[in-house]
């Protein structure tokens, strides 16, 4: 049981380049999330998904797109990277059951540097 | 807009000290309050608090939630250098989308 995994671990992009970050979970969780973490800003929600084929905007969605074609995968895309998108990106997943506590399990993070 | 505020932002103590970290929240459809510990990498889950006044304990760590006053505290007794980390508090929105809103964290440094 690998939990939540993220690919790649680290990437350097030039301004204007595009890339996709992959998040995979093997816990059969319905909900998945993408966060970015910047110094002094805490964790901020970019996009999330409450199930296969569904996505929704979080707090800071501009410049990012997501897709959830399969339940276990949640992709975060940057179409035209900007230096302001230099950050550490965390993926998380969670389960929800009525009356039972739920939490979010985090992946190890992807460090992205945009030059 | 949901908001979570943690205090202090940073704290330096000596091994053996007891610390209290604070978290206040404003969430429209509040469901739960979560605490995470973050060292070098991803946050790791500590506690989830849903009911008011019930203390949760794990070793030297404990936490409690006050839903009337909209805050939670995380206590660490007999601190060790391994407790040095950023402690994150997050409020879970129990509406249709179960979003977590995070505070900026408290950086705890425990010196030997």
pLDDT score of A23 more than 70: yes
CB contact under 8 A, A43 and B97: no
Minimal CA–CA distance to A93: which of A38, A28, A43? A28
CA distance A75 to A52: 12
> Which pLDDT score is estimated for A100?
52
> Which pLDDT score is estimated for A95?
82
Note the pLDDT tens digit of each residue in B45-100: 898 898 888 899 999 999 999 999 999 999 999 999 999 999 999 998 877 566 78
Read off the pLDDT band of A36 (50, 70, 90): very high
> Which pLDDT score is estimated for B28?
85
Substitution target in B38, B63, B95, B98 with the highest count of A β-carbons within 10 Å is B98
CA distance B25 to B37: 18
DSSP annotation of A81: -
Q: Which of residues 50-89 of B touch A (CB under 8 A)?
A: 50, 88
Note whether A71 contacts B: Cβ–Cβ < 8 A.
Answer: no
Note whether A109 contacts B: Cβ–Cβ < 8 A.
Answer: yes
| Both tokens assigned to B91 | 């409020």
Note whether B98 contacts A: Cβ–Cβ < 8 A.
Answer: yes
> Which pLDDT score is estimated for B100?
82
> Which pLDDT score is estimated for A1?
67
Average pLDDT over every residue of A41-64: 91
Note the pLDDT tens digit of each residue in B20-48: 999 999 988 888 899 999 998 889 889 88
Q: Nearest residue on chain B to A55, judged by CA atoms?
A: B97
CB contact under 8 A, A31 and B105: no
CA distance B91 to B102: 7
Residue A85, SS3 per DSSP:
helix
CA distance A19 to A16: 10
pLDDT score of A96 more than 90: no
Q: Output the average pLDDT for chain A.
A: 91
Substitution target in B87, B95, B102 with the highest count of A β-carbons within 10 Å is B102
CA distance B10 to B20: 12
């Amino acid at each position: 049981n690998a939990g939540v995994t993220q690919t790649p671990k680290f990437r350097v992009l030039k301004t204007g380049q595009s890339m996709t970050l992959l998040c995979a979970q093997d816990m059969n969780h319905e909900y998945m999330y993408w966060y970015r973490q910047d110094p002094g800003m805490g964790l901020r929600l970019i996009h999330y998904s409450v199930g296969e084929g569904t996505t929704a905007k979080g707090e800071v969605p501009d410049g990012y797109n997501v897709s959830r074609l399969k339940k276990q995968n949640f992709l975060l895309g940057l179409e035209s990277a900007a230096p302001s998108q230099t950050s550490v990106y965390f993926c998380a997943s969670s389960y929800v059951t009525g009356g039972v506590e739920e939490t979010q399990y985090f992946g190890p993070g992807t460090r992205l540097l945009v030059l | 807009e949901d908001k979570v505020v943690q205090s202090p932002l940073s704290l330096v103590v000596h091994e053996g000290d007891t610390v209290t970290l604070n978290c206040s929240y404003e969430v429209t459809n509040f469901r739960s309050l979560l605490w995470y510990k973050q060292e070098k990498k991803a946050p790791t889950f500590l506690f989830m608090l849903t009911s008011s006044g019930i203390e949760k304990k794990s070793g030297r760590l404990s936490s409690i939630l006050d839903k009337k006053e909209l805050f939670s505290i995380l206590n660490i007794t007999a601190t060790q250098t391994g407790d040095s980390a950023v402690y994150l508090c997050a409020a879970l929105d129990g509406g249709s989308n179960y979003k977590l809103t995070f505070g900026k964290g408290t950086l705890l440094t425990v010196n030997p």
